Structure 1
């Protein structure tokens, strides 16, 4: 897109790539252009830390004070995928958390303190018996 912009306007924009680098550092930082990329492709490359998850969930949710809540075995699917959506009882502003789970995977909900209602969507029912 930057090359097209430069061709049409004559302006050489500052270009930043955020797609080619995943580093071992725990912070976002500027990085060298990967050797596989031709010189001049980008002006700057931003190196993002590798994602890390605990029980399928991002740790920043717990870092903000939300609590890990186990999904009861009775709500876990036996076959196919199931979506568990949690909404505050006192609000109409959408879900607080939503997870897609499949049999044998230990995914947790992460919730702030409060009272909640659940919506359970069994994808096998929506998509027919084959399911995803």
Structure 2
């Protein structure tokens, strides 16, 4: 099993960050750009990957009381992951994303995963900023 993890501090309250991250209808705004999630009947979702043009059955669990998302492929041989939001004081939050690949054949490699995680966290922060700016203006 191969595991990857990235964190990013965001200048927003943890509740605001989690609400943006957990909005099932807006996951495409921050997920890696070649992944698209369709919520069937939570926790069941379908993940479409542009690179392979394949749909995969997966689960997505939203845990607001813990400010945590957990996901994974249903067959258990692909990947799983989680996103955790924690307050770090002064109205800021730290968001950590963790991915685990059960089989090497599903692991795109350290460089690709690192770039995808960093890009996702950057897009999530942009979405949070847009939401806060729109609420304030």
TM-score normalised according to structure 1 size: 0.25
Q: Which has the higher helix share?
A: 2
Greater relative contact order, per chain length (Cα 8 Å cut-off, separation 6+):
2
Greater radius of gyration (CA): 1
